[in-house]
Amino acid sequence: MKRITKLFLALALVASPLTFTSCDDDHWGDDYYYNSLVSAAVRNYLYEYPNGSSYYTAYNWFYYYYPEATTSEFYAFMEAVGNNGYYNWSNSYRQQENSQVNRLVAEAQTLTGEWEGDMTIEYTDDNTHQRIRTSFSANMKFFQYKSSSNSLQGNGVEVDTDASGNQQTLAFSWNVDSNGDIYIKYTKSGTIFRLNLNSTTEGFHLGYEQAKGYDTFYGTARSTNTTDVMSFDLARQKPASAKASNSLTRASKQASFGAAKENDYAKNSTGAVSGLRER
């Protein structure tokens, strides 16, 4: 498969080829150059990050541009760019970063899928300048980038329905940040919501809920570029192909993320009127 043709950077490299040291001074050794994907990935990465980057950045960069790479190709790439003379990842640092990346990937994988439930948006009316809260039912589908199970970002679609049956469909993109926060950006309006991983008062819970026995996704999200506040109370929906009626849990390991300890959606939605907020 001509995976490298998907990468725009490769075009730039053709136009402006990089100059490398001789084979005798090669920091990576010939072992990495038997594989054209790894070779191209190393060149393109160093073109974008000539002075290197963090382990996390290199990890996410690789899977963003090479989502179909094998595990062995990933390790070969990381070993190559991690010992290129500009910087080194010590074993302890690499293990620490690996552990953090694994947690972030697990969080992204848990987020991926279909969720449905109630949502309330609080915003400032443009005409009256008063704070207004509207509530509706929401169905959200999260997809990882290019269907890569290792990706920390992706896109999605949300369908909102009010009490009168009116609907709106919203496209959005999402990503899991290096600290575990989740960002959702609505395509049409450009509104960005941040879900704080570590907040106990305005954070979120994502994953298995012991009391209910299935995956839930609830919490509060504040917009980073508007005054909007989003509260939500969602449950994972079983895949259409699922046979078991109670298959609302994605993984048997029953993972969960977020510092929110109590679902206070009912309190946040009190006084809201039925309606849709275009985002």
Instruction: Identify the bridge partners of residue 203 per DSSP, sorted by sequence position.
Output: 196
- Residue 36 pLDDT: 86
Q: What is the pLDDT of residues 49-67, one digit of tens each?
A: 888 787 778 888 888 888 7
- Residue 239 pLDDT: 73
Question: For residues 2 and 71, what is the distance between their CA atoms, to the nearest angstrom?
Answer: 18
**What global pTM score does this model have?**
0.71
Question: For residues 229 and 4, what is the distance between their CA atoms, to the nearest angstrom?
Answer: 41
Q: What is the pLDDT of residues 223-246, one digit of tens each?
A: 999 999 999 999 999 876 555 444
Residue 233 in contact with residue 215, Cβ under 8 Å? no
Question: For residues 9 and 68, what is the distance between their CA atoms, to the nearest angstrom?
Answer: 17
Average pLDDT over residues 193-222: 94
Least confident window among 88-92, 113-117, 197-201: 88-92
Average pLDDT over residues 109-117: 95
Instruction: Identify the bridge partners of residue 161 per DSSP, sorted by sequence position.
Output: 137, 167
- Residue 194 pLDDT: 97
- Name the pLDDT band for 72 (thresholds 50, 70, 90): confident
- Residue 35 pLDDT: 66
- Name the pLDDT band for 257 (thresholds 50, 70, 90): very high
Query: Smallest Cα–Cα separation from 7: which of 65, 53, 46, 76?
Result: 65
- Residue 93 pLDDT: 57
Write the CB contacts of 206 (distance below 8 Å, at least 6 apart in sequence).
Answer: 107, 110, 111, 182, 215, 217, 256, 257, 258
Q: Are strands 273-274 and 131-144 parallel, antiparallel or unpaired?
A: parallel
Q: Position of tokens 């939500």?
A: 232
Residue 30: pLDDT over 50: no
| CB-based contacts of 100-104 (< 8 A; 24+ apart in sequence) | 100/56, 100/178, 101/55, 101/56, 101/59, 103/180, 104/56, 104/152, 104/176, 104/178, 104/180
More confident residue, 248 or 278: 278
Question: What structural domains and CATH numbers belong to the chain?
Answer: 3-89 (no CATH), 106-274 (2.40.128.120)
Q: How many CA atoms lie within 13 A of 37 on its CB side?
A: 20
Q: What is the pLDDT of residues 14-28, one digit of tens each?
A: 333 433 333 333 434
